[in-house]
Every structure is written in structure tokens, then in C-alpha cells.
């Protein structure tokens, strides 16, 4: 069974204190790993897609990386506005032939000023 | 573009009542999904659709039914609501890339349902 595990469940940082969030996965035939950001009371918003080991994507203070077993979301010098829940999802082929994403439980990030 | 629109935003039901949640997307996406999100459980897939007139079960389909009569709409029905169905429900859509993989999901802002 495909599994996606995110750690830590919650993370508190001081403004400017860099850190990383982890997403480990066990799927057969990975066809993309996605990172989303979710603010309270809102739906998740897309951040990055990674398709192959070694790939990296960057956006402002965020950088996502991918290996064959896990992905990291690095946050450099975070600001309070980076506070949110970060979700990881992996996409693999299902029995019926469709590619459906499976989500991890998320990491809740709070950045204190 | 409105993107993905969910109605209603909030609803309170009594045990045994029925209701339908509506999801509409204006991006001409083939795929549509219904997820539920509970504290500590992440997003769990209820049902999904790969095109008009087709639906399939996800991880937690029991107690729910869906229909996709039009490409832009995906309806989620609760025939007899139970307290265990208290949750936040998210609809999402995506499109196929070269018939192999899906684009990132576009989400609505959710429906918060309470069953008493």
C-alpha cells in the first residue's frame, strides 16, 4: 500500500531560523511529488512539483528537493507570513490505470516574529 | 476565472438527514475529486472522477455517493448523515498531462459540515 509520511507534525521557528520539512514515501512507479501550502480556512495551494530524484525547485524562501525515498522542503530565513500547514502528495498509478495523488498528514509551521 | 467553487460553505445537519455538496470548476479539467480533512488525518480521498459520467471510489467512500453528469460539476451526496461525517470537505480538479500523469490539484475553499 502506498504511504506518505510527513515529519515533524508541528514546527515552531523564530523569524530567520532556517529549517526543513520532510516527506517520505513508499510508492511503486512515482509519477510526481507535490508540495502544497494550506492557510486556515482555505483550500491547499500548489507550490511545487518534482518528478525525478535529484530535481530541485525554488520559490522565494522555499526550496524543494527529491530523492528516491523522500522529499525535503527547506525554508530559509522564514517570516511570520510563512506560517501555514504544508502538505506533501505523491502521485502513482492506481489499479484502474488512473494517476491519483495520496496526501500526507501535513506539517503545521508557526514562525514567531 | 473563479477556479473551483464549493457550495455551501457551512452546513449543520441532524443525524439521518441528507444533503448534497456542489463543486463547480470553470477550467475544463477532466479530473475531479472529493476529499475530507479531519484533524490529524490529513486529506483522505472519498470519490473521484476521470471524466463526465464516470466515478470511482477512493480511500473512504462509505456513506457517500457522487455524480458527474456535466464535466464542470461534481456532486457529493450524503444519504443519511452520521456524526462521523463531521468534517471539512474539499473538492479539487486537475487535468491530464500527455495521458500519463495529472497536473497539480486546484482546490476549492471547502465546506465545513457538522452532523449533530
pLDDT band at A2 (very low <50, low <70, confident <90, very high): low
Q: Between chains, do A102 and B58 touch, taking CB under 8 Å as contact?
A: no
Q: Measure CB to CB from residue A43 to each of B40, B102, B110 and give the nearest one.
A: B110
Distance from CA of A106 to the nearest CA of B (A): 6
Q: Between chains, do B109 and A98 touch, taking CB under 8 Å as contact?
A: no
Q: Does A32 touch chain B (CB under 8 A)?
A: yes
pLDDT > 80? residue B96: yes
Q: Name B49's bridge partners.
A: B32
Whether the CA torsion A104, B103, B92, A47 is positive or negative: it is positive
pLDDT > 80? residue A13: yes
Q: Between chains, do B56 and A98 touch, taking CB under 8 Å as contact?
A: yes
Q: Between chains, do A103 and B42 touch, taking CB under 8 Å as contact?
A: yes
| Average pLDDT over every residue of B71-77 | 97
- In a mutagenesis test of the B interface, which of A101, A106, A107 is the best target, namely the one with the most B β-carbons within 10 Å? A101
Question: Tell me: the pLDDT tens digits for B5-43?
Answer: 999 999 999 999 999 999 999 999 999 999 999 988 889
For residue B103, the 8-state DSSP code is P
| Average pLDDT over every residue of A61-80 | 97
Measure Cα distances from A53 to A76, A96, B45, B75, B85 in Å.
22, 26, 26, 37, 38
- In a mutagenesis test of the B interface, which of A33, A36, A44, A95 is the best target, namely the one with the most B β-carbons within 10 Å? A44
Whole-number average pLDDT of chain B: 94
DSSP structure string for A29-95:
SEEEEEEEEE-TTS--EEEEEE-STT-EEEETTEEEEE-SSEEEEEE-S--GGG-EEEEEEEEEE-T
Q: Does A98 touch chain B (CB under 8 A)?
A: yes
Q: Measure CB to CB from residue A101 to each of B4, B40, B105 and give the nearest one.
A: B105
Q: Between chains, do A31 and B45 touch, taking CB under 8 Å as contact?
A: no
CA–CA dist A25, A4 (Å, integer): 5
A-chain residues within 8 Å CB-CB of B101?
31-32, 91, 99
A-chain residues within 8 Å CB-CB of B49?
none
Q: What is the pLDDT of residue B100?
A: 66
Whole-number average pLDDT of chain A: 93
Pairing verdict, β B101-102 and B96-97? antiparallel
Alpha helices in B23-110 (DSSP H): none
Q: Between chains, do A43 and B101 touch, taking CB under 8 Å as contact?
A: no
Q: Between chains, do B58 and A101 touch, taking CB under 8 Å as contact?
A: no
CA–CA dist A82, A105 (Å, integer): 18
Q: Is the model more confident about B55 or about A3?
A: B55
Amino acid at each position: 500500500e502506498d504511504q506518505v509520511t510527513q515529519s515533524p507534525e508541528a514546527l515552531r521557528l523564530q523569524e530567520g531560523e532556517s529549517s526543513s520539512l520532510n516527506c517520505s514515501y513508499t510508492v511503486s512507479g512515482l509519477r510526481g511529488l507535490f508540495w502544497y501550502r494550506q492557510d486556515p480556512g482555505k483550500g491547499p495551494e500548489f507550490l511545487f512539483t518534482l518528478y525525478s530524484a535529484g530535481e530541485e525547485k525554488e520559490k522565494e524562501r522555499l526550496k524543494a528537493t527529491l530523492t528516491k525515498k523522500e522529499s525535503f522542503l527547506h525554508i530559509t530565513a522564514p517570516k511570520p507570513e510563512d506560517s501555514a500547514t504544508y502538505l506533501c502528495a505523491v502521485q502513482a498509478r492506481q489499479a484502474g490505470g488512473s494517476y491519483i495523488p495520496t496526501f500526507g498528514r501535513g506539517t503545521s509551521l508557526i514562525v514567531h516574529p | 476565472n473563479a477556479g473551483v467553487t464549493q457550495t455551501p460553505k457551512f452546513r449543520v445537519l441532524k443525524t439521518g438527514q441528507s444533503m448534497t455538496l456542489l463543486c463547480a470548476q470553470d477550467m475544463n479539467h477532466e479530473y475531479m475529486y472529493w476529499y475530507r480533512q479531519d484533524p490529524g488525518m490529513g486529506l483522505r480521498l472519498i470519490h473521484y472522477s476521470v471524466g463526465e459520467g464516470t466515478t470511482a471510489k477512493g480511500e473512504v467512500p462509505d456513506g457517500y455517493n457522487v455524480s458527474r453528469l456535466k464535466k464542470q460539476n461534481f456532486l457529493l451526496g450524503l444519504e443519511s448523515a452520521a456524526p462521523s461525517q463531521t468534517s471539512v470537505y474539499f473538492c479539487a480538479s486537475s487535468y491530464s498531462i500527455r495521458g500519463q500523469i495529472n497536473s497539480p490539484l486546484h482546490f476549492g475553499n471547502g465546506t465545513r459540515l457538522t452532523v449533530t
